[in-house]
Structure 1
């Protein structure tokens, strides 16, 4: 866990105390806040990938107010100002976030590599970084990558720079894939009949509570099984069953935020076993449904 890998020093300031670890083309910053504060500005001339470690932040950007919790990422475009509230920070339980600053040209290089080795269909255009805020939940793989990044930056390894380059390349690729996935899902909702893949994704989203019907997906896509699974993973970054599971959990989170009870939420998104739902939800969000609902409810009360 990231929390266990961070070595803390005596803080110089109580709000956004920063410890930095530099590398060529990127930098890791670990921010600890030890007292409640509001409207604290943060910006960088680099792309900034923020991963929440502990506590809670409320991020204000472009008129949006997002609750930022552990097991989530908040990606800021270069020169974009975000203002942050720290509603729970205390000396004994600081709010902690790691921020990886990546040179924009590095991300563009990764996009060029993806366009070469894994081109998208013409319906969705080339791989490219979109200059906007992105707030998303970590997958298990992304969480493991962030754990590894903290280790690499902070250890004295003779291959440190080489390993950092590999890790930052992977993180950039995951960022690009997530942005593309968000774009595709949004596009599918707006125009489900634009192309076959849109129709497939729209069908999955409209039937989240039902078991995945692969044969029906093949009919919609007008593809054989092998080609379909390759195309789907190339565009969405995962298999259809994993995509459905993740979208179920995201929908469950939205339902919990809007006050639905845990049992009702579980059945509404297709889980028939409450224990399995709770275990799967915690593995994805890093919080149990009960704690997630409680934290979101507390935030709504504070606001």
Structure 2
């Protein structure tokens, strides 16, 4: 990184008792290119015309447990006095680059889905799921729509989106439920059935698994904030 290059860091609120911290990690452009090239040689994208990439000029990343874990590991490795230190650091940096590439590709696919529906089968499937999220969707139906075998579809979906098709559908349903719950005129029962769930018990359990709180707590929190 050039010394004159500016870095924008979105610091969380900090106090004396709960300080925040910032770590700047510089990775050479050549090492990034080599790692991404190796990734493209070993792991296919859904479309042969697409490639794994890492845009280092424009990159914004929300806090991610896997990324945080890798950065913590790198910090520990740099402090160790271990004859295998350089080997461990190099491989951890490679994993970091691969995961960042996955996140960037995934973010682009999910935020600009409609720009790619005619050229990318996963983008088409994401749009299809969002349009039909309130009804039952099977792996067979989705893999048929993608013109892929079930096993190939499942592997590529998880590779590029980071979750299984079932997990993605669940997250999309919870996202829709949150929008419904944000409407004061809508009840938890409305959110349950209008987002594709068949029972309040299942809805509450699924909502908690994604949001770490039950639907009632989420709605109450919105009311208190407003």
Q: TM-score, normalised by structure 1?
A: 0.55
2:84 aligned residue: 159
Closer/same/farther in 2, CA of residues 101 and 269 from structure 1, 3 Å limit: farther
Tell me if the contact between 2:46 and 2:121 (Cα under 8 Å) persists in the aligned partners.
no
Q: Larger relative CO (CA 8 A, sep 6+): 1 or 2?
A: 1
Task: Give the corresponding residue for 1:93.
Answer: 18
CA contact (8 A) 2:117 2:124 kept: yes
RMSD: 3.8
Distance apart, 1:114 and its partner CA: 1.0
* Cα drift, residue 166 of structure 1: 1.1
- In terms of Rg, which structure is larger? 2
Alignment correspondent of 2:208: 278
1:79 aligns with 2:5: yes
Does residue 186 of the first structure (1) align with residue 73 of the second (2)?
no
Distance 1:170 1:276, change over 3 A: same
Q: C-alpha displacement at 1:82, in angstroms?
A: 1.7
> What residue is the counterpart of 2:152 in the other structure?
227
Q: Rate the CA distance shift 1:246–1:275 in 2: closer, same or farther, 3 A.
A: closer
Higher helix share: 2
- Counterpart-to-counterpart distance in 2, 1:168 and 1:94: 27
Contact 2:177 2:195 in 1 (8 A): no
Q: What is the match of residue 61 of structure 2?
A: 135
Q: Which residue of 1 aligns with 2:141?
A: 216
Specify every segment of 5 or more residues in structure 2 that has no aligned partner in the other structure, as ranges.
none
Q: 4+ runs of 1 displaced by more than 6 Å? A: none
Matched with 1:18 is none
Moved more, 213-222 or 266-275: 266-275
Aligned mates of 1:151, 1:210 — CA distance in 2: 47
Distance of 1:98 and 1:244 partners within structure 2: 35
Deviations 1:44-88 (A, max 9, x none): 549xxxxxxxxxxxxxxxxxxxxxxxxxxxxxxx935426566x3
Alignment partner for residue 128 of structure 2, among 178, 182, 203?
203
Asked whether the equivalents of residues 255 and 265 of structure 1 are also in contact (C-alpha less than 8 Å), the reply is no
Structure 1 residue 247: Cα displacement:
4.8
Rate the CA distance shift 1:154–1:266 in 2: closer, same or farther, 3 A.
Answer: farther
1:114 maps to 2:39: yes
Using the TM superposition, give the Cα deviation of residue 221 of structure 1 relative to its aligned residue in structure 2, in angstroms: 1.3
* Cα pair 2:143 2:150 within 8 Å, conserved: yes
Question: How many pairs were matched up?
Answer: 211
Structure that is richer in strand per residue? 1
| Alpha-carbon separation, structure 2, partners of 1:182 and 1:189 | 13
Describe the superposition over 1:259-303 as per-residue Cα deviations: whole angstroms up to 9, x where unpaired: 5689589736556442542243249xxxxx75xx68xx6xxx9xx
